[in-house]
């Protein structure tokens, strides 16, 4: 398993308080990897540092074997695209104009807009299904369409690796599935490496080849979701009692949180304590 991204004794901090301490991590190439964990566990911070949005306090981040702080940000942008959490497009910017921004790292004084740029943009609009909406302003789109427009921009960057920070936040279930299906297809058909932070543990388990559970700034466990998602993991990582069953449709692990709620008369849920 070749790593696409790896960290070596990575320490991250905001101000003086360390969030992540001496972390060693490898993210496999050509797979879908999800980072999961409770709020404030450091998963978004970790993703932000992998995306070079946050400078490491200590240690290194390797992208395809090279230290990310040693190479130009433009070269990095040709190898790895990122989609931060809740990006906002300038008012009135069309989907087509947004997607064209993805070609920024390939342009310079000498080489302006090329046929290849045009081709990649058209392709990105096509696979995200945004072609019919390409002349609409991004701010006039629905949440799901908007997220697809942003993904189109990152795809136009034509990178092997794609990092996404909670790409499904604020989307309803239909649009969550739509976005995740799109990412799944990109991985299946093009072999692109996808790394994302996801809140929904069940969807994370279903779409990911590799899951990294983060707890208090450290990797609690990493591997196939079916191997690592257990009741114990959920209790340790999320401080939540639950029952883990196998998804009746997909067979992937599915977590049913304990807690309160209506219990229908004919059900017997012995596992719920209290």
Instruction: List residues binding other proteins (CB under 8 A).
Output: 51-53, 72-78, 81-84, 87-94, 97, 101-102, 104-105, 107, 137, 153-154, 157
Which among 102, 93, 92 is positioned nearest to 127, based on CA atoms?
102
- In the bound state with other proteins, the residue whose beta carbon lies nearer, of 26 and 99, is 99
Cα separations in angstroms, 201 against 156, 168, 229, 268: 29, 12, 9, 25
- In the bound state with other proteins, the residue whose beta carbon lies nearer, of 92 and 259, is 92
**Shortest gap between Cβ of 101 and other proteins (angstroms)?**
6
64 secondary structure, DSSP code: T
**Shortest gap between Cβ of 217 and other proteins (angstroms)?**
22
- In the bound state with other proteins, the residue whose beta carbon lies nearer, of 82 and 242, is 82
- In the bound state with other proteins, the residue whose beta carbon lies nearer, of 162 and 214, is 162
- In the bound state with other proteins, the residue whose beta carbon lies nearer, of 40 and 92, is 92
End-to-end alpha carbon distance in the chain: 45
Kindly tell me the sign of the dihedral angle through the C-alpha atoms of 144, 149, 152, 154. negative
Largest CA distance in the chain: 73
**Shortest gap between Cβ of 124 and other proteins (angstroms)?**
13
Distance, in Å, from the CA atom of 86 to the CA atom of 91, rounded to the nearest integer, reads 15
Dihedral, CA of residue 211, residue 198, residue 147 and residue 103, to nearest 10: -40
Residues forming a β-bridge with 196: 34, 164
Which among 142, 131, 75, 140 is positioned nearest to 99, based on CA atoms?
131
Tokens standing for residue 106 = 């390939």
- In the bound state with other proteins, the residue whose beta carbon lies nearer, of 51 and 213, is 51
Helices (H), 22-112: 43-50, 73-79, 95-101
Burial group, residue 245, by CB count within 10 angstroms (0-12, 13-18, 19+):
exposed
**Shortest gap between Cβ of 100 and other proteins (angstroms)?**
9
- In the bound state with other proteins, the residue whose beta carbon lies nearer, of 86 and 257, is 86
**Shortest gap between Cβ of 247 and other proteins (angstroms)?**
33
Query: Residue 218 phi/psi, 5° resolution?
Result: -135, 155
**Shortest gap between Cβ of 212 and other proteins (angstroms)?**
21
**Shortest gap between Cβ of 202 and other proteins (angstroms)?**
28
């Amino acid at each position: 398993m070749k790593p696409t991204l790896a960290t070596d004794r990575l320490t991250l901090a905001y101000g003086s308080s360390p969030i992540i301490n001496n972390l060693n991590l490898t993210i496999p190439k050509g797979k879908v990897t999800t980072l999961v964990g409770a709020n404030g566990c450091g998963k978004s911070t970790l993703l932000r540092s992998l995306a070079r949005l946050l400078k490491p306090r200590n240690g290194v981040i390797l992208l395809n074997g090279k230290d990310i702080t040693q190479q130009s940000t433009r070269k990095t942008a040709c190898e790895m695209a990122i989609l931060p959490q809740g990006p906002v497009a300038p008012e009135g910017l069309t989907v087509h104009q947004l997607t064209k921004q993805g070609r920024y790292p390939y342009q310079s004084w000498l080489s302006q807009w090329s046929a290849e740029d045009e081709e990649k943009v058209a392709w990105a609009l096509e696979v995200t299904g945004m072609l019919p909406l390409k002349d609409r302003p991004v701010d006039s789109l629905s949440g799901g369409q908007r997220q697809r427009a942003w993904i189109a921009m990152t795809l136009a960057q034509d990178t092997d690796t794609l990092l996404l920070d909670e790409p499904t936040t604020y989307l309803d279930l239909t649009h969550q599935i739509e976005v995740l299906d799109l990412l799944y297809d990109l991985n299946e058909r093009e072999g692109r490496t996808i790394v994302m932070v996801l809140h929904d543990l069940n969807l994370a388990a279903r779409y990911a080849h590799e899951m990294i559970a983060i707890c208090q700034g450290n990797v609690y466990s990493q591997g196939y979701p079916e191997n690592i998602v257990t009741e114990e993991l959920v209790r340790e990582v999320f401080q939540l009692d639950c029952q883990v069953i196998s998804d009746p449709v997909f067979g992937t692990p599915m977590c049913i949180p304990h807690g309160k709620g209506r219990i229908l008369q004919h059900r017997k849920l012995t596992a719920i304590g209290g």
